[in-house]
Amino acid sequence: MNTAIKPLVLLLIGGATTAAQAAAPGDEVIPVKKSTLVNLVDLLVQRGVLKPDEGQGLVRAAEQEAAETQAAQVKSNEAKAATSTAEDAGEPGNSAPKTGKTKHVGYVPEFVKKEIRDQVRAELKAEVLQDVKQDAKTEGWGIPAALPEWVAAIHPSFDMRVRFADEFYGKENAGGIANAGLDAAGNFFGPYNWLAINRLANSPQGGLQRQVSQNPNEAIVNNQIDRLRLRERFRLGFEANLSDGLKAGVRFATSNLNNPVSNDQTLGNTGQSYQFAIDRAYLRYDYLDERKTSWFSLYAGRIINPFLSTDVVFDPDLSFEGVAGSVRFPFNRGTSKLAGYKAPNPTARFGINQGQQTPDSLFLTLGVFPLQDIDVSVNDKWLYAGQVGADWLVWHDSRLNLAASYYEFQNVNARRNPIGSHVYDWTAPQFVQKGNSMVAITDDQTLNGVCDDTVGCLFGLASRFKVFNATAMFDYAGFDPVHVLLTADYAKNLGYNQQKILTEFANGVVNYTDSRPRTTAYQIRADIGQVEVRHFGDWSVNLAYRYVQRDAVLDAFTDSIFHLGGTNAKGWVIGTQYGLSKYAWLNLRWLSTDAIDGPKYSIDTVNVDLNARF
Task: Name the band, by pLDDT with cuts 50, 70 and 90, for residue 21.
Answer: very low
Q: Is residue 168 part of a domain?
A: yes
Q: Tell me, what's the pLDDT at 15?
A: 47
Evaluate if residue 431 carries a pLDDT over 70.
yes
114 Cβ neighbours under 8 A, 6+ residues apart: none
Q: Tell me, what's the pLDDT at 471?
A: 98
Give how far the C-alpha of residue 465 lies from the chain's centroid of Cα atoms, to the nearest Å: 31
Q: Is residue 428 part of a domain?
A: no
Residue-number span of the structural domain to which 292 is assigned: 154-173+224-413+462-613
Q: Is residue 336 part of a domain?
A: yes
Q: Is residue 282 part of a domain?
A: yes
Q: Is residue 19 part of a domain?
A: no
- Return d(Cα 149, Cα 154) in angstroms, integer: 9
- Return d(Cα 188, Cα 443) in angstroms, integer: 15
219 vs 63: which has the higher pLDDT: 219
Find the mean pLDDT for residues 361-381: 89
Phi, psi of 553 (to 5 degrees): -140, 165
Q: Is residue 46 part of a domain?
A: no
Which CATH number belongs to the domain containing residue 295 in this structure? 2.40.160.10
Q: Tell me, what's the pLDDT at 34?
A: 61
Find the mean pLDDT for residues 159-186: 89
Q: Tell me, what's the pLDDT at 334?
A: 67
Task: Name the band, by pLDDT with cuts 50, 70 and 90, for residue 18.
Answer: very low
Find the mean pLDDT for residues 86-101: 49
**470-489 tens-digit pLDDT:** 999 999 999 989 999 999 99
Q: Is residue 383 part of a domain?
A: yes
Q: Is residue 61 part of a domain?
A: no
Evaluate if residue 102 carries a pLDDT over 60.
no
- Return d(Cα 16, Cα 124) in angstroms, integer: 27
Task: Name the band, by pLDDT with cuts 50, 70 and 90, for residue 576.
Answer: very high
CA dihedral (85, 90, 91, 94) positive or negative: positive
Total count of domains within the chain: 1
Q: Residue 276, exposed/middle/buried by CB under 10 A (0-12, 13-18, 19+)?
A: middle
Q: Tell me, what's the pLDDT at 62?
A: 74
- Return d(Cα 306, Cα 339) in angstroms, integer: 25
Evaluate if residue 16 carries a pLDDT over 70.
no
Q: Tell me, what's the pLDDT at 20?
A: 43
573 vs 39: which has the higher pLDDT: 573
The helix or strand, by DSSP H or E, that contains position 302, with its residue range, turns out to be strand 294-303
Evaluate if residue 247 carries a pLDDT over 60.
yes
Task: Name the band, by pLDDT with cuts 50, 70 and 90, for residue 19.
Answer: very low
**Single-letter code of the amino acid located at 237:** G
Evaluate if residue 24 carries a pLDDT over 90.
no
Find the mean pLDDT for residues 292-317: 93
DSSP annotation of 220? B
Phi, psi of 610 (to 5 degrees): -105, 115
Using CA atoms, how far residue 598 sits from 173, 197, 399, 498, in Å, is 11, 21, 41, 18
422 vs 130: which has the higher pLDDT: 422
Find the mean pLDDT for residues 133-156: 70
Evaluate if residue 139 carries a pLDDT over 80.
no
Using CA atoms, how far residue 107 sits from 100, 115, 160, 205, 257, in Å, is 22, 15, 67, 108, 84
Evaluate if residue 541 carries a pLDDT over 50.
yes
Q: Tell me, what's the pLDDT at 104?
A: 56
Q: Tell me, what's the pLDDT at 84?
A: 56
